Amino acid sequence: MKLSDFDFDLPEALIADRPAVPRSSARLLVSDGGRITDAHVTDLAAWLRPGDRLVLNDTAVIPARLTGHRTRQVAQGTTRARIEVTLLEPQGDGTWMTLLKPLKKIRPGEEIVFTPDLSATLRAARDGQAVLAFNLTGADFDAALARAGDMPLPPYIAARRAADSRDKTDYQTVFARVPGAVAAPTASLHFDDALLQALRDAGVNFTYVTLHVGAGTFLPVKVEDVKTHKMHAEWGEVSAQAAAEIAATKAGGGRVIPVGTTALRLIESAALSGRVAPWRGKTDIFIYPGFEFRAADALMTNFHLPKSTLLMLVAAFVGYDRMREIYDHAVREHYRFFSYGDASLLIP
């Protein structure tokens, strides 16, 4: 199984840099057995049955992109360097692991000022990442970050335009509850309150789990033998209530349908023993063809990058040949790709 097996030609015009308005008006490709149907997300209830359960990731994206300045006194006077920071993960000692550009412009012990009330000191740099200690903690830090930070748009969108105020709403799900992600669970971006109510009225149930999506989700696969790729680890939790709800759905003959690859990876991590059990911790589960699914009966997901681990997950779920058919159809029918793009419902 080679990386080149998961490549395909994607016209740049199909890369979405804004979401559909309203959210639920996005297109929906439904792959049901051997049939492909072109629909819209608003039609989702027509493809689900009473007793089915959607598993939703309730992580909240933090405004993790910051821009500030480092000031240094030299013989010629005062110099300033513009520093861009992307928060990655909080550490146990109150510091943050970050991506910092340009890293060569700052030394350990120097301060970056983002706003009059928010600054950080570089503690250390290792493996291309930087450890920052901020001047604020807790609720004060959260409030200052909300004012100063921008949403961490995926690189393929950030290369086309800067984040703006719209993204603070667009790049957040309507049921986001637990702050900690630096990337959105993008399949969930299609849901609005009206769609959620329509699904409830149709007898569809909901379970909420939490997986804090990390910036590593955008890292390319760099090895030709995909089985040797090492996944980034992300923190997640399946509560006892969530595990019980999923078990009850299985026992009652309903289908468990994660919304997004993040929710699927989490519940499959919690089901490695054979059934979904309460689970909390970091997962680096890598799902590629040959994986045995124990929890998910169907999957709702967006359209993914060529050569990505997410495309490999789709191939594992529906089969390699079926994945190629679905993606050939999506390109031919001009579906919109990636984080702000259209959705698919995959029913093996």
Non-local (6+) Cβ contacts of 12 within 8 A are none
Q: Domains in the chain, start-ordered, CATH in brackets?
A: 3-62+167-347 (3.40.1780.10), 65-148 (2.40.10.240)
Q: What is the pLDDT of residue 210?
A: 98
DSSP assigned state of 233: P
Q: Give Cβ neighbours of residue 229 (< 8 Å, ≥ 6 apart).
A: 221, 222, 223, 286, 309
Check pLDDT > 90 for residue 26. yes
d(CA 338, CA 306): 10
Q: pLDDT digit string (tens) for 222-231?
A: 888 888 888 8
Task: Determine contact, residues 276/247, Cβ cutoff 8 Å.
Answer: yes
Residues 147-197 have pLDDT tens digits of: 999 999 888 888 889 889 999 999 999 999 999 999 999 999 999 999 999
Judge whether 57 and 211 are in contact, CB under 8 Å.
Answer: yes
The reported pLDDT for the residue numbered 342 is 98
Distance CA 36, CA 333 (A): 12
Instruction: Name the strand (E) or helix (H) holding 300.
Output: strand 299-302
Give 97-153 pLDDT, tens digit per residue.
999 999 989 999 999 999 999 999 999 998 788 999 999 998 999 999 999 999 998
Helix (H) or strand (E) holding 45: helix 44-47
